[in-house]
Amino acid sequence: MELAVYNKSGEKTDRTISLDDSIFGISPNDHAIYLDVKQILANKRQGTHKSKEKGEITGSTRKLKKQKGTGTARFGSIKSPLFRGGGRVFGPRPRDYSFKLNKKLKRLARKSALSYKATEQKITILEDFTFEAPKTKNFIQLLKSFNLEGRKVLLLVPVTDSNVLLSARNLEEVMYLNAKSINTFDIMKAQQILIVESSINDINEMFNN
């Protein structure tokens, strides 16, 4: 797949770059994408939820009324789940939601996600660039050049450029990511992917090793 290379002003240069079809041109596997996204979201969960059960409630253990002879149901402690302020039955407990996936499956999921974006023409190649100073308006101008204002954008770079990072980090809709750290969730969430030209080699190296 051949894509044109653009500069940061949104102008098409006279160069093109070839994307590896084994990465950007495969037949997507939807189930692999589902499993990988599910794992990423599960691993983000803290799992610190907790509610108090009957034995953890602070209160009197005095028997409320005699066991028999009242004509009504028997009652024990005021901490019973039947009463307001009592313990909860089978409430949530702290737990670890994370689970493991096969490396080959995760690789397939990322390739599938990239292939979807390539097929939908949602990948743009930018020539290497930087800013003289960290200014958010510089990055906003870059987004305007590609008509990407207000859209969720994923910028993939080969190395961290502090000026570009600081210019983009205040924009909620922009995700700045090292090309070797891409994941299926961020790829699928993005409405447009901007790939800095020299990071293509990092992507090819990551998937072909």
Instruction: Decide: pTM greater than 0.85.
Output: no
Tell me the pLDDT tens digit for each residue of 155-189.
999 888 889 999 998 899 999 999 989 999 999 99
pLDDT digits (tens, 9 = 90+) for 97-144: 999 999 999 999 999 999 999 999 999 999 988 888 999 999 999 999
Q: How far is CA 159 from the centre of its chain?
A: 20
Domain residue ranges in the chain: 2-46+101-208, 51-91
SS (H, E, C) 125-167: EECCCCCCCCCHHHHHHHHHHCCCCCCCEEEEECCCCHHHHHH
CATH architecture entry for 2-46+101-208: 3-Layer(aba) Sandwich (3.40)
